[in-house]
Amino acid sequence: MGAMTPAERLRAAAEKIRETAKAFAAQEGSVMDFPLAAIPTLDPDNNGWVVYYDYPDADWDTTIAQTPYDYTGEGARHIALWSPPVALAVADLLDAQARYVDDVAMMFGEADHETDDGALALADLILGAES
């Protein structure tokens, strides 16, 4: 198979994001409608931070990740920011950009189509060597 077109790269990245977000949200105990949050452990200098579902009435541990060497919490806060709803919204943006690329190519011909370089850079990061 030849190189992927820009629209194909955008769609492939969107699909990969959706697959991982949906798999994460489908895991047992997931409460996807609630945001992720990050807090330090009782001893962050030795145990780092945890990422958890911010489920207000939970009477169980909603921790989904521990970042043991993350003494300042920057990694945990980054992970918490990339929750399934955020990831799915980014996938929708990539699909919208792919539709735009297709529309411009259809109106003006393949040689003149425009592509958002930022969206393509994101798609290539998501796809890694696949693109």
What pLDDT score does 9 carry? 93
- The contacts of residue 75 (CB under 8 Å, 6+ apart) are 49, 67
pLDDT at 129: 54
Residue 32 pLDDT: 64
pLDDT for the residue numbered 91: 97
d(CA 50, CA 77): 9
Q: Output the pLDDT for position 33.
A: 67
Q: What is the pLDDT of residue 108?
A: 76
Chain centroid to Cα 66, Å, comes to 18
Burial class (CB in 10 A: 0-12, 13-18, 19+), 70: buried
- pTM reported for the whole predicted model: 0.78
What is the predicted pLDDT for the residue at 61? 82
How does pLDDT run along the chain (131 residues), one tens digit per residue?
A: 458 888 999 999 999 999 998 888 777 555 666 788 999 999 888 889 999 888 888 788 888 889 998 999 999 999 999 888 889 999 999 999 999 888 887 777 765 456 778 899 999 999 995 54
Question: In this predicted structure, what is the pLDDT of residue 15?
Answer: 97
